[in-house]
Structure 1
Amino acid sequence: MVHDTRSVEEATAYFSQLTTLITKSVESVLHDYAAASRPLPTLECTDSSAVLDTQVIRDAVRVIEGACAQLVASIAPAPHIMANRTLGGVDQACLRVAIKAKIADQLRDGPKSVAELAAGAKVDAGKLGRVLRNLAVKHCFSEVTKDVFANNRLSVCLLSGTNTNALVDFGTDELNTAFVYLPEALTKPEWLGSNGVEQTAYFLAHGQAHFKRYETETWRAERFSRAMIAYTGLQGGTDEIARIYPWPKVSPGTTFCDIGGAVGHVSFALRKMHPHVKVVVQDMASVVEDGHKLWEKEDPHGLAKGDVRLVAINFLEHSPVDGCDFYYLKHVLHDWPEADCVTILTNIKKAMIKKRNSKLLIHEFMLHDATQHADHAAAGAILAPPPLLANFGTGAQRRYMMDINMLACYNGAERTLDDFIRIGNAAGLQFSRLWEGGEVTVMEFACA
C-alpha cells in the first residue's frame, strides 16, 4: 500500500495549482470573447454560430477538462469515481434513444412535454421521460419545467442531417456494440499477436469487417463519411495543415503530394490559403474519379494549368509521384500494422530521393505518456503545465479513445512520437521536428 507522503503545505499547493489553472483558463476564454466583441453563449443558446472556436479557446478547454477531472479524481472517494465510469454506457444508450426518437427534431420549434414527444416517437412517455431526464442532468436538453424539455447548445448537435448527428449515431451504434466485445477479442488465445481486420472486436460484434460491411449496407458508409467530416472539424478542420505549417516560406511552385488524400479536401484547403503551392492528390482509382468532379467544380483553372493533379495509387504496392517537395499522409498509418506502415513509408522514400530536400509530413494523433519528456518538448511537443499530467490527461482524452477505437475496429493503432520515429527509421527516414495544432500533430521527416 502506498501512502501519501506530502506535507499539508504540499498538498494544499497541489490543489491550489489545479484551481489556478482552471481560473486562468476561464479568464482566457472570457478575454477571447471580449476581444471578438461577442457575448458569451449560455447553455440555452441553440445558435452554433454564437460559439467561438479559436485555438485560444481550444487550449483553454484542454486545460479546464484536464484540471477539473484531476481535481475530482484527487478529492472524491475512489468508488464514487469508478461507479460513475462503470455506468458511462448509460449515457450512450440514452443518446441512441434520443436519435432514434428524433427528440431534437421534435423540439426544433420550441419546448414540448414528454407526452407530446413520446406520441411523436411512438414510445412510452414514462420511459422516454426517464431517458431525457438523465440526458438533461448532463446538459444535453434542458428540462424547462417538470416533464417539459427544450433543445440547448448540446442537443442541437443531434438534429437530423447534421454531421455531428451522424457521428453520435455511428458511435452509439456500431462502435459501442464493438467495444462490448473488446475483452473477448483481446483474450482469444488464437488471436494473440493478430493484426487482421477479422480478428477484431468489431468483427465479433457484427460478423463482418468494418468496411466490408459497408459494401452491402451503403447507408452505413454514407453515415460514416458524414461522421468523419464532423470528427475532422473537431481536430481543427481540413485546413489545419495549411495553418500550422510555415507554407509562406516555401518557394512558388512547391509541390505537395497528398497520399491517401481521398478527393482532396485537404489539398483544396491548402491551395485556397496558399495558391503558390501545386498539389498532387493520390488515392484509389475510384476515389480519384470522384476527386476530378470536385476539382473541376472548385478549381478548374488549377486543373487546366497542371497545378492540380489527381493520380491513382495503391500505396502498399507502389511509390507516389516522383520528385515532389512534400509528401503528406493524414490518418493513414493508424489504419495499418507496423510492418505495413514501414512498407508505405519505404515506397514514399523511393519517390523522395528523386528530389533533394524532399520532406514527408505525417499528420496523425500523437500519443504522449503521462511523464515529462524534455526531448519531446525540444522537438515541438506541447507539455501540460504542472501539476497536470504531462499529456493533459482527460483534456486530451479523445486521442486515447481513438487508439482504442482503432484497436477494436481494425487492429490499427495511434502511436507515440517514439513509435513514429522507429517506423520512420526502419524505412530510411529521419525525424526533423513536429508542429502541434488541434488534436493532431504534424511530424516532419527527411531521407536519412
Structure 2
Amino acid sequence: MATNAVHATTRIIHLAQAISESVAKINEVLSIQGLPTPSFDEDFPANILPTEALDARDAVLDATAELHDLLLGPLHLVKMHAGSNNSVCMQAIARYGIANIVPPGGQSSFKEIGKQSGLGEQMVRRLLRHAMTMRIFCEPEPGVVAHTQASRMLASPQMRAWMTIGTGEMWPAATKLLDALEKWPGSQEPNETAFSLSQNTTQSIYEVVGSSPERGARFAQAMEIWATRPDYAPSHVVEGYVWESIPSSNPGGRIHLVDVGGAQGHVACALAKRYPSLEIVVQDMDKVIEGAELALPEDLARQKRIRFMAHDLFAPQTVAADAFFFRWILHNWADKYCVAILRAHVPALRPGARLIIMDTCMPEPGEDSLGTVPVWVERDLRAEDLNMATIFNARERTLGEWKALFAQADAGFKLEGVTKPKGSALTIMEVVWEP
C-alpha cells in the first residue's frame, strides 16, 4: 500500500512538472512570435497556437487531464463522463438562438433572455449557469450574462447549425446505437442504423437529408465548420504530399487529377494555385456542384484548369487520370461500400496511376509508425468512430484495416506511402495501381 502511495505521489509530481515545462515552451513560442496568451475573452482569436507549440500543447492537455482524473477519483470520474445533461444546455442554446440574444461585446439579463427565448427567467438561469461551468457564457455580475470566446462562436450561423444537428439529431441517434446493433447484427447498410431508428424511417441519412432542402442546407452549413479547423485545413493537402511527383501520361507534363467527392472545389482551388502543372476534375453529386464553376476565383476560371462533373461514387469511373483523390470520403462508408467505390475506379486506371486517400487513421496499441497520438486526440477519435457507426454504419480505420480494405478491393492496389502532415487530423495514403 505504501509503495502505491509513493507511486501516486511521484506520478502527480511528474505530471505537474510536465505541465510546467510544456507551458513554459508554449509561452516561449508565443513570446518569440509576438502572439498573446490564450484567453476565454469573447474577442480573443480562435486557433491562436502556432505549429511550433502544438507538441507542447498536446503534452499539457494530456497531463492536465490525467492529473484532473487522478485527483477526481473513480466515482466522480464515471459520473462526469456518464452525464447526459451537458447536451441539454447546448441544445437549448442552439434551438432558441441564445448566443444571438446576448449582443457581441454587451450583456443581457437572464430575465430578457428568458423572455425572448420563451423559456422563462428561472430555466434560462439554470441552463446557462450550467453552460458557464464549461466556459460557455459568463456572469460578470449577478443576473447578467455576457459572452465568452466559446459562446460568441456559437452565435455564428454555421456553429448554430452544427450544434442544432449535434444535439437535435446526433445525440438522440446515439441513444439508439445498441438497439440498432441488436436489430441488425453485423449490418453494413446505411439505412439500418441508430440514426434510422431515431428518425423512425427506413431511409439512410443521405436520403433523409436529401429529401428536405431545409435540413440539407443546415447540414451543408454545419459542415463548413470543419473547414475552419486548423487540423482540417487545405494547407495539409497542399503541403503534405508532393503532387508534382505524380507520373504524368500527358503531353507537356500536365498531371490530370480527379478530386472525387470534392464538393464545390475549395481543396482543388488550393492545389491548382500551388501547382501549375495540375489539371483537376472535381466530381460530386449534381446538386452539390451546382454553380461551382461560377464561384471559381477569376484567375483559375481564366486558366480553365478546374472543371466540375456530376458523378455517382459507385458508378464506373469514366475519366482517365494520373491520380484520383479521395479526401475524407471513405470513412463515411462500411467496408463493402468502400470496396465498391474502389472497384468502380479500376476501369479508368492505367498501370502506375495513383489513388491518393486522405482520411482518418486510427491508432493501435503498440503501433507508432505515424507517431504517438495524444490521449486527448485519441479520445476524440474514439468518439467519432462511434458516431460513424451511429449515423452511417461506417467506421474509422487503423492503418492495418486500410491495408486490408485495399487488398479486398483488388490485389492490384499497392499501398506505397503513408504520411501524416504535422498538425493534420488526416493521414495521406498513396496507393499505386499495379495490375
The alignment's TM-score, normalised by the length of structure 1, stands at: 0.86
**What does residue 382 of structure 1 align with?**
371
Alpha-carbon distance between aligned partners in 2 of 1:6 and 1:339, rounded to the nearest angstrom = 52
Q: Would you say the 8 A contact 2:191–2:205 is kept in 1?
A: no
Alpha-carbon distance between aligned partners in 1 of 2:26 and 2:371, rounded to the nearest angstrom = 19
**What does residue 194 of structure 1 align with?**
187
1:164 aligns with 2:166: no
Letter in 2 for 1:255: H
Offset of residue 267 of structure 1: 0.7
Q: Would you say the 8 A contact 1:258–1:279 is kept in 2?
A: yes
Offset of residue 224 of structure 1: 0.9
Q: Would you say the 8 A contact 1:61–1:395 is kept in 2?
A: no
Superposition map of 1:289-328 within 5 A: 289-295=290-296, 299-303=300-304, 307-319=305-317, 321-324=319-322, 326-328=323-325
Q: Flag the 1:148–1:416 CA change in 2: closer, same or farther, 3 A.
A: same
Q: Flag the 1:28–1:157 CA change in 2: closer, same or farther, 3 A.
A: same
Q: Would you say the 8 A contact 2:358–2:426 is kept in 1?
A: yes
Moved more, 63-72 or 149-158: 63-72
**What does residue 406 of structure 1 align with?**
388
Moved more, 17-26 or 235-244: 17-26
Alpha-carbon distance between aligned partners in 1 of 2:101 and 2:357, rounded to the nearest angstrom = 43
Offset of residue 421 of structure 1: 0.5
Identity of aligned residues (%): 23
**What does residue 447 of structure 1 align with?**
433
Alpha-carbon distance between aligned partners in 1 of 2:15 and 2:344, rounded to the nearest angstrom = 47
1:431 aligns with 2:425: no
Q: Would you say the 8 A contact 1:167–1:231 is kept in 2?
A: no
Alpha-carbon distance between aligned partners in 1 of 2:299 and 2:397, rounded to the nearest angstrom = 35
Offset of residue 250 of structure 1: 6.0
Letter in 1 for 2:307: R
Letter in 1 for 2:420: E
Offset of residue 150 of structure 1: 0.5
Superposition map of 1:117-128 within 5 A: 117-128=113-124
Q: Flag the 1:431–1:7 CA change in 2: closer, same or farther, 3 A.
A: farther
Q: Flag the 1:221–1:147 CA change in 2: closer, same or farther, 3 A.
A: same
Instruction: Specify which of 77, 81, 95 is matched with residue 73 of structure 2.
Output: 77
Q: Which runs of 5+ in 1 are unaligned?
A: 384-390
Letter in 2 for 1:293: L
Q: Would you say the 8 A contact 2:42–2:152 is kept in 1?
A: no
Alpha-carbon distance between aligned partners in 2 of 1:12 and 1:429, rounded to the nearest angstrom = 52
**What does residue 359 of structure 2 align with?**
364
Instruction: Specify which of 391, 397, 409 is matched with residue 379 of structure 2.
Output: 397
Superposition map of 1:63-142 within 5 A: 63-87=59-83, 89-109=84-104, 110-142=106-138
Q: Flag the 1:20–1:433 CA change in 2: closer, same or farther, 3 A.
A: farther
Alpha-carbon distance between aligned partners in 1 of 2:346 and 2:18, rounded to the nearest angstrom = 44
Q: Flag the 1:64–1:329 CA change in 2: closer, same or farther, 3 A.
A: same
Superposition map of 1:218-257 within 5 A: 218-234=213-229, 235-247=231-243, 253-257=254-258
Q: Flag the 1:231–1:323 CA change in 2: closer, same or farther, 3 A.
A: closer
Q: Secondary structure at the match of 1:316?
A: coil
Alpha-carbon distance between aligned partners in 2 of 1:105 and 1:159, rounded to the nearest angstrom = 5
**What does residue 330 of structure 2 align with?**
333
**C-alpha distance after superposition, 1:83-119 (max 9, x if no partner):** 11111x2111101112233222222241222112212
Offset of residue 140 of structure 1: 0.7
Q: Would you say the 8 A contact 1:102–1:160 is kept in 2?
A: no
Q: Flag the 1:100–1:21 CA change in 2: closer, same or farther, 3 A.
A: same
Offset of residue 416 of structure 1: 0.8
Q: Flag the 1:267–1:224 CA change in 2: closer, same or farther, 3 A.
A: same
Alpha-carbon distance between aligned partners in 1 of 2:245 and 2:17, rounded to the nearest angstrom = 39
Q: Would you say the 8 A contact 1:349–1:429 is kept in 2?
A: no
Q: Secondary structure at the match of 2:430?
A: strand
Alpha-carbon distance between aligned partners in 2 of 1:424 and 1:142, rounded to the nearest angstrom = 50
Offset of residue 82 of structure 1: 0.5
Offset of residue 319 of structure 1: 2.2
Letter in 1 for 2:416: S
Offset of residue 8 of structure 1: 6.1
Q: Flag the 1:6–1:294 CA change in 2: closer, same or farther, 3 A.
A: farther
1:173 aligns with 2:159: no
**C-alpha distance after superposition, 1:210-237 (max 9, x if no partner):** 2222234322111111111102332322
**What does residue 386 of structure 1 align with?**
none
Moved more, 290-299 or 416-425: 290-299
1:351 aligns with 2:344: no
Q: Which runs of 5+ in 2 are unaligned?
A: 248-252
Q: Flag the 1:167–1:61 CA change in 2: closer, same or farther, 3 A.
A: farther
Q: Flag the 1:211–1:57 CA change in 2: closer, same or farther, 3 A.
A: farther
Alpha-carbon distance between aligned partners in 2 of 1:40 and 1:311, rounded to the nearest angstrom = 46
Alpha-carbon distance between aligned partners in 2 of 1:149 and 1:330, rounded to the nearest angstrom = 41
1:62 aligns with 2:58: yes
Alpha-carbon distance between aligned partners in 2 of 1:143 and 1:200, rounded to the nearest angstrom = 41
Q: Flag the 1:61–1:204 CA change in 2: closer, same or farther, 3 A.
A: farther
Q: Would you say the 8 A contact 1:107–1:150 is kept in 2?
A: yes
Q: Secondary structure at the match of 2:85?
A: helix
Q: Secondary structure at the match of 2:292?
A: helix
The alignment's TM-score, normalised by the length of structure 2, stands at: 0.88
Letter in 2 for 1:120: Q
Q: Secondary structure at the match of 2:418?
A: strand
Count of aligned pairs = 421
**C-alpha distance after superposition, 1:137-172 (max 9, x if no partner):** 1111111111211001111111042x2222122111
Alpha-carbon distance between aligned partners in 2 of 1:425 and 1:33, rounded to the nearest angstrom = 46
Alpha-carbon distance between aligned partners in 2 of 1:392 and 1:274, rounded to the nearest angstrom = 33
